Amino acid sequence: MSLLEKLEAAQRSQDVLKALGVNAIGATIDVAGSATEGEIAGNRVVLAGTNNYLGLTFDQACVDAAVAAVRSHGTGTTGSRLANGTYACHAALEDELNAFLGARSSIVFTTGYVANVGTISTLAGPGDVIVLDADSHASIYEGAKLSGAEVYRFRHNDPDDLAKRLRRLGERASRTLVIVEGLYSMLGDVSPLKKICEVKDRYGAYLLLDDAHSFGTMGANGRGLAEAQGCEDEVDFITGTFSKSLGSVGGYCASRKHDINPLRAQIRAYMFTASSTPSVIASTRAALQLIGRRPELRTRLWQNAKRVHSALGSLGFTLGADFSPVIATIMDSPQQAASAWQMLLDAGVYVNLVVPPGAPKNLSILRCSLSAAHTPDQINQIISAYALVADQLMDRPKAVAGGSI
């Protein structure tokens, strides 16, 4: 196959979705009027397929901070963190992350993807081993591949399978980085983190937690899954993103246990890419303060999640997991999922369509994600739109409570 024939093959696989009559890949949000409402193809829609869990993208304090920063520090840094791209605001955000997470050190990156690729590929190298959860995000797989370490997968959310793999490694377990996520973003299920910690400690391995979707959404103070499960001191490294609960863009790696500062002069994705703009850092800092100060945002988020989860279960949908800010409905086929996605959009509700190979276990799912900013009316609209889908597309009997896989 020539270089450009690959593009034609890629186009053909995208045409499969088009043949289903939907244009779900890269659907353009023409106007984002608020954290939960936008315009797609001329229609006003409730946004229920974002990662705007706390609804902070339009928070006045965050917007004001960004505007003030762009006025006083300009539109961009035009340099990498190691050259001219570290401003006082980047260092201040790292200090604030340390204080918030109780970390010894933190490093801020330009995106969460880059934080994972850079940190993982530098922490582990040839001669080391990475054992990762099979459902890991692309950036985790990418970092693992780039590291040159031996890479093994363990069964998703299965501490016994992890233990089996670490046992087989013998003394090499002490040169092993285990990687899991907190809240998994496709099915909305949660890692058994405390058990994972027990297992990696038993074998003397190290653990990196990608807390992208649990930071801000879980734990009494919003510090994520390790706080929620009471094992913050056991996790060696935490990576995360600013593009979800914090409502901006960027990423970090933090550690309570280790001084990770020496990595700054080793991580190529830190040394050779431009740093985040001052306005992005400013809104992120403002949002971080709100996560700590406004626990009611988390309460509202989980109330919204519970309402939608219970309603969709009652409508007879098969749900991906117990209730969480991500609610996946498992559809029978890619075709059914695509038709349902379009019906929801026509009813003014935007969710994510995920078809093979995008979703775990080759499932076809509709991924609905909730926000603290969804109003009771918007939650009703989301539920009513799903009721239409249940009525018109599904012939299974209605259940009282949601099933789960």
Active-site residues, by number, are 185, 213, 244
Q: Is 14 helix (H, G, I), strand (E, B) or coil?
A: helix
What is the DSSP track for 74-142? -S---SBTTTT---HHHHHHHHHHHHHHT-SEEEEESSHHHHHHHHHHHHS-TT-EEEEETT--HHHHH
Q: What are phi and psi of 274, to 5 degrees?
A: -65, 145
Look at phi and psi of residue 314 and say left if phi exceeds 0, alpha if psi is from -120 to 50, else beta: alpha
**185 lies in the site for ligand PMP, by CB under 6 A:** yes
> For residue 232, what is the enclosing H or E element?
none
Which one of residues 59, 181, 227, 234 is an interface residue with ligand PMP (CB under 6 A)?
Answer: 181
Joined together, the tokens standing for residue 185 give 């973003």
Residue 388 Cβ vs ligand PMP, minimum distance, rounded to whole Å: 29
- Whole-angstrom Cα distance, residue 285 to residue 275? 15
- Whole-angstrom Cα distance, residue 108 to residue 119? 11
Joined together, the tokens standing for residue 11 give 């186009």
Residue 253 Cβ vs ligand PMP, minimum distance, rounded to whole Å: 12
Stretch that binds ligand PMP, among 87-95, 111-119, 257-265, 306-314 (CB under 6 A): 111-119
Q: By C-beta, is 326 or 343 nearer to ligand PMP? A: 326
Which one of residues 128, 133, 189, 210 is an interface residue with ligand PMP (CB under 6 A)?
Answer: 210
Determine the angle formed by the axes of helices 159-169 and 193-202, rounding to 10 degrees.
20
**188 lies in the site for ligand PMP, by CB under 6 A:** no
**119 lies in the site for ligand PMP, by CB under 6 A:** no
Judged by CB under 6 A, the chain residues 239 through 278 that form the site for ligand PMP are 241, 243, 251
- Contact between residue 208 and residue 196 where contact means Cβ atoms under 8 Å apart: no
Q: Give the strand order in the sheet containing 318-319.
A: 352-354, 364-369, 326-331, 318-319, 403-404
- Whole-angstrom Cα distance, residue 339 to residue 122? 43
Residue 108 Cβ vs ligand PMP, minimum distance, rounded to whole Å: 12
Q: How many residues lie near ligand PMP (CB under 6 A)? A: 13
Residue 340 Cβ vs ligand PMP, minimum distance, rounded to whole Å: 22
Which one of residues 38, 55, 112, 222 is an interface residue with ligand PMP (CB under 6 A)?
Answer: 112
- Whole-angstrom Cα distance, residue 133 to residue 135? 6
Q: By C-beta, is 139 or 304 nearer to ligand PMP? A: 139
Sign of CA dihedral 185, 191, 196, 197: positive
Residue 99 Cβ vs ligand PMP, minimum distance, rounded to whole Å: 22
Task: Write the binding mask 135 to 174 for ligand PMP: x where contact by CB under 6 A, - elsewhere.
Answer: --x-x-----------------------------------
**Look-up: residue for tokens 């509709």?**
366
Residue 313 Cβ vs ligand PMP, minimum distance, rounded to whole Å: 24
Which one of residues 50, 80, 106, 116 is an interface residue with ligand PMP (CB under 6 A)?
Answer: 116
Q: By C-beta, is 38 or 224 nearer to ligand PMP? A: 224
Which one of residues 190, 212, 291, 340 is an interface residue with ligand PMP (CB under 6 A)?
Answer: 212
Q: By C-beta, is 87 or 215 nearer to ligand PMP? A: 215
Residue 116 Cβ vs ligand PMP, minimum distance, rounded to whole Å: 6
- Whole-angstrom Cα distance, residue 250 to residue 137? 16
**Nearest in space to 254 (alpha carbons), one of 143, 95, 63:** 95
> For residue 268, what is the enclosing H or E element?
helix 268-271
Judged by CB under 6 A, the chain residues 9 through 48 that form the site for ligand PMP are none
Residue 402 Cβ vs ligand PMP, minimum distance, rounded to whole Å: 23
Stretch that binds ligand PMP, among 34-42, 107-115, 255-263, 376-384 (CB under 6 A): 107-115
Summarize as ranges the residues that interact with ligand PMP (CB under 6 A). 111-113, 116, 137, 139, 181, 185, 210, 212, 241, 243, 251
